[in-house]
Chain A
């Protein structure tokens, strides 16, 4: 069963509720046998229709050093020009001096379903000479989104649908050195895996042979395990045996996905495919024998998208909220908050 990370017992603030009525509030469950079709299962259709009408929010963050192909990969994932690079980015642009957070929103429609996709890029991460604490702006951004949501949620008059800007998924790009993870990789993932779903990917995987790839993946998995880094899908949130079996396979064999991205199409065997052209051949992005891009795409979009959102909402957000509400209990006498104080909370 899914459990909150925060184990400390917390007390409630709400004063005594009103007098309870004479009827027991927890009715007893009795199994009933149906004698004919009623139409309860139509609720599925009703729900589907409702969600299609309201649409989906999905926020994905990409983190990694410059030149690892983050933007290209994101474009490939959503088969559209959705990354920072597509909105007027210039290759001559200087690498920023500090980590910047750039969020770009798009609306993608497929099969009548509208998805409001936000891609959050982090240029400057790991690019400085001294990269100490370069994950802090990222952690700050993630927490700011939780804070925004919390503020909306605690309003007395609430919006019908609270806008969700929380980061549902963070793709962390590992450099394909072939050796091991770098200290920066470990530091980042150690800190951030506690607040957001991290999916590690090996970038520019076309620089490794199949054996090198397998070995590197094994080493990376081992290193992550040794350092206690729980990447998504986290073991402790497997809901049932079915989930566990499916996720175990992904955790122990497929991840981290070794990917290649491309937004260019080439003709291969009479078909137009996304790929990278080299003198020694065309690397087909969606060909599973060439790279694991298709696995990543199916994983993030076709099977686990809803789960990524749910883990973010039910686990990471709840942890943030509990900590936030509890921390404030120990504060000294409250002064009137000025505008400045208010903003520094963000």
Chain B
């Protein structure tokens, strides 16, 4: 295939994006018109007049016609013109448009980017619905359009145009166009540089603003079903060029200039946004000494700036961290010290106790030693006593047993240190005494 064929084939594969913004008061006929334009019932809920601020609602649809896949995004204003104070009404709209540019710019500035698969949400055309008062533009219209004309392609539309008669309509259109010119509002001009379309585009430029009627209802006219609005006094046919400019709008918007609208958005409106934004961020094409500075160099300088800033912050954080660690360390050290003190104190106490116990042990040991000594002495005495009587040598134990009893008793008579035995002894003596006491008593009985 030829070169354009190859490009077209690729584009078809990728699909197309088209994004329409509709601005108009509640009830100006935006949704019906869009439905009519695309012959589809897009689900768009009706809104009330009592919203406090202007909001935007965006919905994306995928339409397919023959082999062309179109990602169509319709953005509607909600609550436009309903507030008592409309000073800020245009701001959400401007913000929305800018946000789409910003998103694209962000992607473009990324290091690793994927522009070829990016879903372009930038607004390609703005349909501005003028109320069919028949007089002139409202001040809100002028204010809004002045704030948008450098950001988006504006096509002014008179909605619900079936409420104006033909003669009134001509006057109305003239008035609107002259007001736009005198207020310096730049609306979208259908391009006239390409010979194939310049003629029709020039004619169409003369019909602006398009006076449209939309309808999704069908009425039988002759033997055909046509889109129309049925009144008691007649039927307004949407696609009848004598009745309204609907067909012109569809022709211009979709069949002739869709590609140009997309290109203007990218090459003019987006570039302007980008330039302003980059200048805002401090980038310049001409640096100091009026030398040409590439954006890249400025970019790198900024990057270096941010890098230094980051390092500084890192350093700060590190200092903070070190500080905190120091503090914690001090606390821990103190606690450690306290525990150490407690420990030492306890150790001392323990030592004290230990000493005491040692002393007691020593005392006990001394007593035991003494006892053993005494016992040894007693044994000695006993053995001495038994030497005088010629008795066969019995084992010591037995001897001790037989005679020791008496001896022990005798011995213990003398000693008073073995208190326990003394107690035993005294107990025995007491018992003995008791028995003696008792026995004479018994003998008395």
Contact = CB atoms under 8 A, between A and B. Distances in A.
Interface residues of A, number: 82
A183 interface: no
B259 A156 contact: no
B103 A25 contact: yes
Interface string B112-151: 1111110101000000000000000000000000000000
Contact of A32 (B61, B99, B116, B255): B61
A214 to B, nearest CB: 29
A46 interface: yes
B433 to A, nearest CB: 109
B39 A35 contact: yes
Contact of A334 (B42, B281, B301): B301
Contact of A1 (B62, B117, B283): B117
A156 B92 contact: no
Contacts of A2: 116-117
A44 B12 contact: yes
Interface string B3-39: 1111111111100100000000000000000000111
Contact of B62 (A32, A47, A150, A310): A32
Interface string B333-346: 00000000000000
Contact of B304 (A29, A157, A160, A331): A331
Contact of B271 (A10, A17, A158, A318): A158
B56 interface: yes
B220 interface: no
Contact of A13 (B10, B16, B73, B306): B306
Given A21-B95, A42-B255, A115 B62 contact: no
B326 interface: no
B315 to A, nearest CB: 16
Given A22-B55, A43-B68, A156-B284, A303 B99 contact: no
B121 to A, nearest CB: 7
Given A22-B55, A331-B300, A30 B60 contact: yes
B66 A48 contact: no
A88 interface: no
Contacts of B274: 156
A113 B4 contact: yes
B43 interface: yes
Given A36-B39, A154-B299, A333 B304 contact: yes
Contact of B55 (A19, A23, A53, A157): A23
Contacts of B92: 21-23
B40 interface: yes
A23 B66 contact: no
Category for how many chain B residues contact A: 35 or more
Contacts of A4: 112, 114
B196 A41 contact: no
Interface in A1-18: 1-2, 4, 6, 8-15, 17-18
B7 A47 contact: yes
B331 interface: no
Interface in B253-277: 254-260, 263, 267, 271, 274-275
Given A27-B58, A310-B10, A333-B304, A40 B68 contact: yes
B67 interface: yes
A307 B71 contact: no
B63 A34 contact: yes
Nearest to A319: B112
A245 to B, nearest CB: 15
B321 interface: no
Contacts of B2: 110-111, 113, 302
A156 B8 contact: no
Contacts of A141: none
B303 interface: yes
Interface in A92-114: 110-111, 113
Interface stretch (A62-70, A174-182, A249-257, A322-330): A322-330
B99 A25 contact: yes
Given A4-B114, A47-B11, A47-B259, A156 B4 contact: no
Among A9, A27, A39, A314, chain B packs the most CB atoms within 10 A around the CB of A27
A151 interface: yes
Contact of B300 (A14, A19, A36, A328): A328
B111 A326 contact: yes
A33 B40 contact: yes
B71 A29 contact: yes
A118 B288 CA distance: 38
B295 A156 contact: yes
27 contacts: A13-B306, A14-B105, A14-B281, A18-B102, A21-B92, A22-B55, A23-B55, A25-B99, A27-B75, A27-B121, A28-B59, A28-B60, A30-B61, A31-B62, A34-B64, A39-B255, A41-B67, A50-B260, A56-B3, A156-B278, A156-B285, A156-B295, A239-B13, A318-B113, A322-B112, A326-B111, A331-B300
